[in-house]
Structure 1
Amino acid sequence: MTFTSKKEADAYDKMLDVADNLSEFIEESKIVEDKEQLEQLAFYLAQERDTLARLLKGGPVKKVASKPAKKADVAAIKTAANQ
């Protein structure tokens, strides 16, 4: 991916790190067994981390989730996980 600023690139890298950590967390639960679905779920939750944080604090859903994770984004998570 290409970014117009270092800030955007850093934010995306942070989101990938969060997705990787979420993937490991969810994988330990054994709730989602399909690896692709697990990675897509982790990426989705990382993208929506502000809404998720609000929900975990007992707040309402203010925003309906954005688009599902793209295969390219899932591939980026795999790449980040292997580094």
Structure 2
Amino acid sequence: MAVIVKYVVERNGEEKMTFTSKSEADAYDKMLDMADELFVLLEDSDLIEDEAKREELSMFLAQNREEVLVALGAKKAPKKKATKPTAVADDTDDADEEDEAA
């Protein structure tokens, strides 16, 4: 018989998500905390009347925390990795054929 350790993130008595690692569960819990705080901020703004839309937007912003911080200027955007130049086709065979034809 196997023993499986599960970490359950629970909010207000409702099971939100189950994880196999504590760090993943903690990260998800932290993201939910951010979403809760963003929901309150959006609620105070009166810009979005629909509660479901406020909740959806707050979850989206919390899930995309890194991009939001970059957009707000609180964090620098990660540098993109330089792409390797594509190989140039070797046309030496074509040049030899042209020389022979001439």
Return the TM-score normalized by structure 2: 0.56
Per the alignment, in what secondary structure is the counterpart of residue 2 of structure 1? strand
Structure number with larger C-alpha Rg: 2
Matching residue of 2:71: 55
Unaligned runs of 5+ in 1: 63-83
Q: Which protein has the bigger strand share? A: 2
2:42 to 12, 16, 26: 26
2:55 to 15, 24, 39: 39
Higher relative contact order at CA 8 Å, sep ≥6: structure 1 or structure 2? Answer: 1
Aligned residues: 62
Distance change >3 Å, CA 25–CA 3, structure 1 → 2: same
Q: What amino acid sits opposite 1:5 in the alignment?
A: S
Q: Which protein has the bigger helix share? A: 1
Q: Which runs of 4+ in 1 moved over 4 A?
A: 58-62
CA RMSD of aligned residues (A): 1.9
Per the alignment, in what secondary structure is the counterpart of residue 19 of structure 2? coil
Distance change >3 Å, CA 60–CA 6, structure 1 → 2: closer
Matching residue of 1:73: none
Deviations 1:11-67 (A, max 9, x none): 0000000000000001100000100000000000000010000000088988xxxxx
Matching residue of 2:10: none
Q: 1:58 and 1:21 mapped to 2: Cα distance?
A: 18
Matching residue of 1:75: none
